[in-house]
Amino acid sequence: MSDKNIVSIEDRIPKLKQARKKKANRRLIFYLSIFFFLISIIVYLQSPLSQIKTITVHGNVHTTEEEIIQLSQLIADTNIWMIDFDSIESKIQSNPIVDSAEVNRKLPWTVTIDITEHNVVGYIKQERNFFPILANGVTLETGQATYNGNSPMLIGFTEDEPIKRIAQELNKLPANIANLISEIHWKPTEENQNKILLYMRDGYLVDGTIRNFASRMEVYPSIVSQLEPGSEGIIHIGVGVYFESFETNSSEGGESEDVSEELSRD
pLDDT digits (tens, 9 = 90+) for 46-81: 667 778 999 999 999 888 899 999 999 998 888 888
Q: What phi and psi, each to the nearest 5 degrees, are found at residue 54?
A: -135, 135
Residue 143 sits in the same domain as residue 203? yes
Residue 64 sits in the same domain as residue 113? yes
* Residue 11: per-residue pLDDT: 57
Residue 151 sits in the same domain as residue 59? no
Residue 136 sits in the same domain as residue 67? no
pLDDT digits (tens, 9 = 90+) for 27-50: 878 888 887 777 777 776 666 777
Residue 99 sits in the same domain as residue 142? no
Boundary of a domain, candidates 117, 137, 162: 117
* Residue 12: per-residue pLDDT: 58
**Burial (Cβ within 10 Å: 0-12, 13-18, ≥19) of residue 236:** buried
Boundary of a domain, candidates 98, 117, 136: 117
Residue 125 sits in the same domain as residue 257? yes
Task: Count structural domains, the chain.
Answer: 3
Q: How far, in whole angstroms, is CA 260 from its chain's centroid?
A: 37
Asked if residue 19 lies in contact with residue 73, where contact means CB atoms within 8 angstroms, the answer is no
Q: Which domain holds residue 111?
A: 49-117
* Residue 9: per-residue pLDDT: 57
DSSP state letter for 51: B
The strand pairing partners of 113, in sequence order, are: 57, 103
Residue 31 sits in the same domain as residue 54? no
Q: What would the mean pLDDT of 219-242 be, rounded to a whole number?
A: 88
Residue 266 pLDDT exceeds 70: no
At CA 87, angle to CA 38 and CA 72, rounded to 5? 95
Residue 138 sits in the same domain as residue 228? yes
